Amino acid sequence: MTLARQHQIQVVAHRGASEDAPEHTLAAYEKAVDDGADALECDVRLTADGHLVCVHDRRVNRTSNGRGAVSALELADLAALDFGSWKRHHNEAEEGEGPDWEGSESSEGSAGSAGSGLSADTSVLTLERLLELVADSNASGRQVRLAIETKHPTRWAGQVEERLLMLLKRFGLDAPPADDPSPVRVMSFSARSLHRVRAASPTLPTVYLMQFVLPRHRDGRLPGGVRIAGPALRIVRNHPGYVAKLKRAGHQVHVWTVNEPEDVELCAELGVDAIITNRPKQVLTQLDQL
Ligand code: G3P
Ligand code: CA
């Protein structure tokens, strides 16, 4: 048994195994599952025609070969884009070679991932497809959880949460038993978004993400009903005592984004419940050896 398991530290793949593969692609999530991640993190946004897709930025410019706001594009527009080539160019510029998630230039064309059996699919990922991946992984004996972050939920007046809960319902994940660990949790920087989720589904775990600690949360209390705190790593580094405060207030603590070994060590020492990282394999290996 690994220390991660002994200490119950969940290793959460941030946007998938996003150091190795293009963030938020099927390839990145399959790699994370293959690496042994306990959970997958994703950001969700609504397309112009009401689909939830996994994209971090408001625009697709950084992570695809297209341009424009996700909210102004329809799913068919997004499906025509490539969300992988930016990473190849980035890696080539940095390392002079392609990443190992990418299909080898074999006679088998673009399918496959250098013989790894992982997907080379770098089209836009819908939340529905990601939920299928989680369901398939769990059906095959893994225990993979999904942490879904609502991005810019306030401008949609509840539509993001409504669509999200409809989709979770289709997978039987919208109303987990209160006494059972839920395979899905919803995260947000917006207390209002989490409030909407809890109002519709009181047993679905919610995570309040924090860039900074607002005065009203200094004593470790979170917005009503939220059980999990999601502080940025910089909060934990600068105020390590805050983790204990949150825990004393009865909250789990999930820290993001933790990539460097010294920060993993700090999080383990402080007894955090989850480490959200771009490098799930490396973090799991380190926790094994601590
Ligand atoms: O897991 C929380 C973290 O993802 C929040 O920041 O910008 O990476 O979505 P961001
Ligand atoms: Ca996120």
pTM beyond 0.80, yes or no: yes
Q: Indicate which ligand has the atom closest to the C-alpha of 13.
A: 1
pLDDT at 180: 82
Cβ of residue 242 lying under 6 Å from some atom of ligand 1? no
159-199 pLDDT, tens digit per residue, is 999 999 999 999 999 999 987 889 999 999 999 999 999 99
Peptide bond into 150 cis (omega under 30): no
- Say yes or no: ipTM exceeds 0.90: yes
Contact between residue 183 and residue 78 where contact means Cβ atoms under 8 Å apart: no
Q: By mean pLDDT, which of 58-62, 75-79, 114-118 is the weakest?
A: 114-118
108-121 pLDDT, tens digit per residue, is 333 334 446 667 88
- The CA 202 to ligand 1 mean position distance, Å, reads 23
Around ion ligand 2, residues with a beta carbon closer than 5 Å are 43, 149
CATH numeric code, 3-60+125-289? 3.20.20.190
Question: How far is the C-alpha of 280 from the C-alpha of 290, rounded, in Å?
Answer: 15
* Residue whose pair of structure tokens reads 């405060």 in the numeric block: 245
Cα-atom radius of gyration of the chain, to the nearest Å? Answer: 19
DSSP state of 9: P
Q: By mean pLDDT, which of 3-12, 82-91, 236-245 is the weakest?
A: 3-12
pLDDT at 238: 97
Cβ of residue 41 lying under 6 Å from some atom of ligand 1? yes
Domain regions of the chain by residue span: 3-60+125-289
